Amino acid sequence: MREVPAETITRVVRELCIEANTCLREDHLSALRRAFEEERSPLGREVIRQLLENARVACSERVAFCQDTGYAVFFVELGQEVRITGGTLQQAVDEGVRQGYREGYLRKSIVESPLRRDNTGDNTPAIVYCEPVPGERLRMTMLVKGAGCDNASAIKMLTPAEGVEAMKCFVVETVERAGPNASPPLTVGVGLGGTFEKAAMLAKKALVRTSGEPHPDPEVAALERELLREINATGIGPAGYGGTVTALAVHIETHPTHIAAFPVAVNIDCHSHRVREAVL
Amino acid sequence: MSGEIRLRTPLSREDVEPLRSGELVLISGVLYTARDAAHARMAAALDAGEPLPFDPEGQVIYFVGPAPARPGHPIGPAGPTTASRMDPYSPLLIERGLRGMIGKGKRSQAVKEAMREHGCVYFGAVEGTAALLARRVKEAEIVAYEDLGPEAIRRLVVEDFPAVVVNDLHGGDLYEEGRARWRRAG
């Protein structure tokens, strides 16, 4: 059994919060630079130019590149040989978020109850998805999720007879309905299969993949390419001002499902795509 | 892309009349910040016959909830938030002389009609350029609802704040026009 002190997790989470919010990940910067070359609308190109300039300034000055520093979401793969000492995983992560958001001058956007809406003041609690895995490592992937794009996400329980065509329509319609509100160019996460909630989780988890890296299953990868082409044909463009680049990438994750079911979930991320990973 | 038009707040109807969707503007002067909770409180104040924290006549509201300021800076990163969440409240302020709004994303039909009737323009700022936009803010002070934290109403003094005209007084809508122009047959 390997022991990992809760305070180690806290320290790592604190760094992830600041790093994710101030410096765009290299794969995403590359995707934006490619988009700048590919975009045909002059206003669309100007938007992407400003995004790249903003990313440069934010990283060099260590300030957040978007004021909505989001909900802190963590996908944790917890080795079964790991024992966390001195606190629970949730406590350790929350303390890291508390410190990171305070010390990084990041906005606290979490309200304690969706009904009463009093700000918790420290951006906690974090959302932590924990998956037990073999071994003695602990892998944490942080996604900073802004609400503008999360609000534009959707889920639908299709029937098997409606099939792939209905799924593709639903994905493209969801992006069209989101339009400028979700802050394109987008990363579009799609979850197929599982159950109602599993599909939604997969759609969110799909967002943390390396930007534009195709799914290992060639059939799924072909669907990703096709959906990206269709989304970019909508004309929504950067910031919704019109253009040929509406999404930078479509990532699909799948899971076995029921004979009677075909859940499809779409989770949208804005161009401020904030993902960081650490392995302890 | 068209050239940049300079605007200085407060704005008169004559200032906003010539603007057309798709034009780039640089705004200088005072902006008031307000987002969801602040709008709800302003609507409640009007309902109760109480005064608003500021007179909307000629003013521009920026839909923003800034991040905390680092020492020595007037404001933290400050990009626009989704404007449609303010749609239920905006007509109340437009009827009272509000001349401009800065945000991101589409507005409702009711807001667009109120804007045309009373002379108010909706500007888009590029969402996610919060670090750059914060540099255009020279002064910031909280004027109301301090307990709302990032949602408090702030009075900002800005210089050359970059925006694009999305909805003008003549039915122009950059989101619709831009999309129609670049849509391709699937």
Domain positions in chain A are 2-20+65-145, 147-272
Subunit contact B127:A270, Cβ cutoff 8 A: yes
What single string gives the DSSP state of each residue in chain B? Answer: -PPEEEEESS--HHHHTT--TT-EEEEEEEEEE--HHHHHHHHHHHHTTPPPSS--TT-EEE---PPPPPTT-S-------BGGGGTTTHHHHHTTT--EEEEBS---HHHHHHHHHHT-EEEE--TT-HHHHHTTEEEEEEEE-GGGGGGSEEEEEEEEEEEEEEE-TTS-BHHHHHHHHH----
Exposed/middle/buried for residue A105 (C-beta within 10 Å: 0-12, 13-18, 19+): buried
Helices A26-38, A42-61: inter-axial angle, 10-degree rounding? 160
Distance from CA of A86 to the nearest CA of B (A): 31
DSSP A104: T
Residues in chain B: 186
Question: Which DSSP helix (H) or strand (E) runs through A9?
Answer: helix A6-22
For chain A, the straight-line distance linking the first and the last C-alpha, in angstroms and rounded, comes to 14
> How many whole angstroms separate alpha carbon A149 and alpha carbon A128?
20
Subunit contact A271:B184, Cβ cutoff 8 A: no
Chain B partners within 8 Å of A176 (Cβ): none
> How many whole angstroms separate alpha carbon A217 and alpha carbon A223?
10
Q: Which residues 6+ apart lie within 8 Å of A49 measured at CB?
A: A36
Say yes or no to pLDDT of B1 above 50. Answer: no
pTM of the model: 0.94
Chain A partners within 8 Å of B82 (Cβ): 148, 151, 181
Tell me the mean pLDDT per 10 residues along chain A, length 280.
Answer: 97 98 96 97 96 96 95 98 97 98 96 94 97 97 95 97 97 96 96 98 97 96 98 97 98 98 97 95
Closest chain A CA to residue B103: A181
The answer to whether A47 contacts chain B (CB < 8 Å) is: yes
Q: Which of B22, B77, B105 sits opposite A180 (nearest CB)?
A: B105
> How many whole angstroms separate alpha carbon A210 and alpha carbon A26?
10
The answer to whether A107 contacts chain B (CB < 8 Å) is: yes
All structural domains of chain B with their residue ranges: 5-12+22-184
Say yes or no to pLDDT of B185 above 70. Answer: no
Distance from CA of A160 to the nearest CA of B (A): 24
Chain A partners within 8 Å of B134 (Cβ): 63
Chain B partners within 8 Å of A46 (Cβ): 1
Q: Which of B66, B67, B183 sits opposite A233 (nearest CB)?
A: B183
Q: Between A and B, how many residue pairs show a Cβ–Cβ distance under 8 A?
A: 165
CATH 3.20.130.10 fits B5-12+22-184, yes or no: yes
Chain A partners within 8 Å of B39 (Cβ): none
Which residue, A165, A215, A166, is CA-closest to A189? A215
- Name the token pair of B108: 């409702």
Closest chain B CA to residue A69: B67
**Amino acid sitting at position A89:** L
Q: Which of B76, B174, B181 sits opposite A235 (nearest CB)?
A: B181
Which pLDDT value is given to residue B128?
86
Could you give the ipTM of this predicted complex?
0.92
Name the band, by pLDDT with cuts 50, 70 and 90, for residue B4.
confident
Chain B partners within 8 Å of A235 (Cβ): 178-184
% of chain B surpassing 70 pLDDT: 97
Subunit contact A53:B132, Cβ cutoff 8 A: yes
Q: Which of A57, A66, A180 sits opposite B128 (nearest CB)?
A: A66
Which residue, B136, B112, B132, B89, is CA-closest to A50? B132
Subunit contact B70:A119, Cβ cutoff 8 A: no
The 10s digit of each residue's pLDDT in B36-76 is 999 999 999 999 999 999 999 999 999 999 999 999 999 99
Say yes or no to pLDDT of B186 above 60. Answer: no
